[in-house]
Amino acid sequence: MRARFPDFRLGNVLATSFTGTLTERHGNAVERIPTPQRLVDWLAANGLAVDSCTTAQLELARQLRESIHAAATAAAIGAALPAPAVHIINERSIQGRAAAVLTPDGNRRWRLGSDSCVEDALSVIAADAISIIAGERDGKLALCASPTCRAAFFDTSQSRTRRWCDMNTCGNRQKKARFNANQRRNGAAARMDVS
């Protein structure tokens, strides 16, 4: 299942993995949860298995996602948090049932309400966003340096100098672009030598 969501290797930050389901926000945006089933798959891959998802619940999820993106972006640049986004994050956090449980091997898992509905899963994502934006977690919100991406990500590196939302996508693309530019320059130089 993970292979279907190649952009989610962002560490273990649930909220920014979720905002990453819309990639290339400032370029040719790609929607990674185009259907309710894809949201179900994404939630399962992130430890939040739900039984089903309706189109209306998918809309709720996307609304939460864009609200987290707006609030996290504001937090990353030190701007005031947009009130409508804060309202939606809080609504989703309040309107779900989920409990942290400890696994036998000492990890935390989320146990959703008995009928495991999408609203419960969204409340976990909203709570995760709140903990990041409130600065409770060890790390720093930053924006991806790629001009076509600008995704908000949570930098947990020691130096807090991470530039890309994901090395496998934006980081790699940038490296390749630099490499190609160098190749072109070197090629032009070689041609000049011949003539």
User: Given candidates 22, 71, 117, 151, which one binds Zn ion under the rule CB under 5 A?
Assistant: 151
> Shortest Cβ distance from residue 144 to Zn ion (Å)?
3
Between 110 and 154, CB nearer to Zn ion: 154
Give the Cβ contact number of residue 167 at 10 Å: 14
81: burial class by Cβ within 10 Å (0-12, 13-18, 19+)?
A: middle
Select 133 or 149, whichever has its Cβ closest to Zn ion: 149
Give the one residue of 21, 144, 152, 155 binding Zn ion; rule: CB under 5 A.
144
SS3 content of the chain, % helix, strand, coil (to 5): 50, 10, 35
Among 39, 50, 149, 152, binds Zn ion (CB under 5 A): 149
Distance CA 2, CA 12 (A): 13
Q: How many residues at the interface with Zn ion, by CB under 5 A? A: 6
| Chosen residue from 14, 64, 74, 170 binding Zn ion by CB under 5 A | 170
Tokens in use for 158?
A: 């020691």
> Residue 186: helix, strand or coil by DSSP?
helix
Nearest-approach distance from CB 75 to Zn ion, in angstroms: 17
Residues of this chain that interact with Zn ion (CB under 5 A) are 144, 146, 149, 151, 165, 170
